[in-house]
Chains A and B, each alone.
Chain A
Amino acid sequence: MIPANFDYLRVDSVEGALNALQEHGDEAKLIAGGHSLLPLMKFRLSAPAYLVDINRLDDLKYVREENSHLVIGALTRHSDIETNPLIKENAGLLASATHHVGDPQVRHRGTIGGAIAHGDPASDIPSALLALNATVVVTGPEGAREIPIDDFFVGFLETDLKDDEMLTQIKVPCVPDAKWSFQKFNRRAQDWAIVGASILVNNGQSGISLVNMHSTPFRASAVEEAIASGANAVEASEQAAIGTEPTSDINASVEYRKHLARVLVKRGLEEAGL
């Protein structure tokens, strides 16, 4: 399977990428790891006229600690995140969720920015970032703006990113003392989650979110509220499917997905010591 033809533009700076986006509007697509975009293009579900390659923006590949936050460059690859000591220590949930993505070859190419910008509710990474209360930094012609992760995902494969903006950084509050668990249910090792759950518990506060249970990555607010008012793992997990609208497909019915959400949240909460 070969993608439809396109013009290939390689840029070496954020400015270069923004110029290309401005010039070609919605005919252009950025390509990072290409591990979501190229499969779509090979199936001809996407056929951009211009492909803007941002892989050589080496100054967007970093993990640093600043003011009790981890700041992560958008082009940082999954394999560099899952093994990064700063991330393992201060946001272990993100390292674990990233380790559950695809397989080593996929993780050598895929980037954190691409995983978020794609806006896929079945993706593991947005769920970890919701539970961790991350902030997304996007840069456009007028400069940078910060978007709380809860406002970033607006619909199925749709985000708050404008056609002339690119995602440049992710900020994650450091929570070295938090207890966490990443739960992923699938049938074959390398598969996407049929349902997944990110669980973070920190001093009575919690961040709970679900993979593949809604048209967007989903925050399980009902579980968070139950925990805040003193519920234990069993009681809180009973609220896990509230507000979700999962789809039914070859892997699972709507009801089965809701069941999985409750089971995975319970397992995760117990693992996190609640």
Chain B
Amino acid sequence: MEPRTLLVQYIRESAGLTGTNIGCDTSSCGACTVHLNGESVKSCTVLAAQVDGMEITTIEGLAQADGTLHPMQQAFHECHALQCGYCTPGMVMACASLVEENQNLTENEVREGLEGNLCRCTGYHNIVKAVLEVSGA
């Protein structure tokens, strides 16, 4: 692997996991969000070499092995928090990390916490609803 390989490139092209999308490629849209040691990061702005030996979770790894959805995936499903689905893998990963770090979020905190993820379809409303559902508010 070349040192300049980006984490998102490694995930998609070497590991063959194409659930993680590339949107802007300039760390603005959040489509490429994955978890690095449990925290959300934008994988278009991390080098694969930098995370050698660390734990990466992509959208493929969020559900349990028997197919039981992660609570955030379930809430997206129930709240109709997606339309075309392009932003969804990154959005779900960002939301899961947000809730992991803060319980009982207010609506405002959810909207602010998702400032790094763009969605061109939903108007965010149902995404916010899904996060509030999981965060126990």
Q: How far is the CB of A85 from chain B (nearest CB, A)?
A: 15
State whether A189 and B4 are in contact (beta carbons under 8 Å apart), knowing that A55-B50, A108-B41 are contacts in the complex. no
**A222 at the A/B interface (Cβ < 8 Å)?**
no
State whether A39 touches B113 (Cβ < 8 A).
no
**A256 at the A/B interface (Cβ < 8 Å)?**
no
Q: Which residues of B contact A6 (CB under 8 A)?
A: 3-4
With CB as the reference atom, state the residue of chain A lying closest to B2: A5
**B57 at the A/B interface (Cβ < 8 Å)?**
no
Q: Tell me which residues from 1 to 38 in chain B have a Cβ below 8 Å from any Cβ of chain A.
A: 2-6, 9, 25-28, 30, 33, 36
State whether B116 touches A102 (Cβ < 8 A).
yes
**A34 at the A/B interface (Cβ < 8 Å)?**
yes
State whether A5 touches B50 (Cβ < 8 A).
no
A155 to B75, alpha carbons, bound, how many Å? 49
**B42 at the A/B interface (Cβ < 8 Å)?**
yes
State whether A105 touches B26 (Cβ < 8 A).
no
A51 to B115, alpha carbons, bound, how many Å? 30
Q: Mark A102-125, 1 if CB is under 8 A from B, else 0.
A: 111110110000000000000000
Q: Count A-B contacts at CB 8 Å.
A: 80
A104: contacting residue among B26, B40, B46, CB under 8 A:
B40
State whether A109 and B28 are in contact (beta carbons under 8 Å apart), knowing that A79-B39, A189-B115, A190-B115 are contacts in the complex. no
Q: Which residues of A contact B52 (CB under 8 A)?
A: 10
**A-B contact sample (20 more), CB < 8 A, given A39-B27, A104-B98, A189-B115:** A4-B4, A7-B3, A31-B47, A34-B47, A34-B50, A38-B46, A39-B45, A51-B3, A51-B47, A79-B39, A103-B30, A103-B115, A104-B115, A104-B116, A106-B27, A106-B42, A108-B39, A108-B41, A108-B97, A189-B111
Q: Which 4 A-B pairs have the closest CB atoms?
A: A103-B116, A8-B3, A189-B115, A190-B115
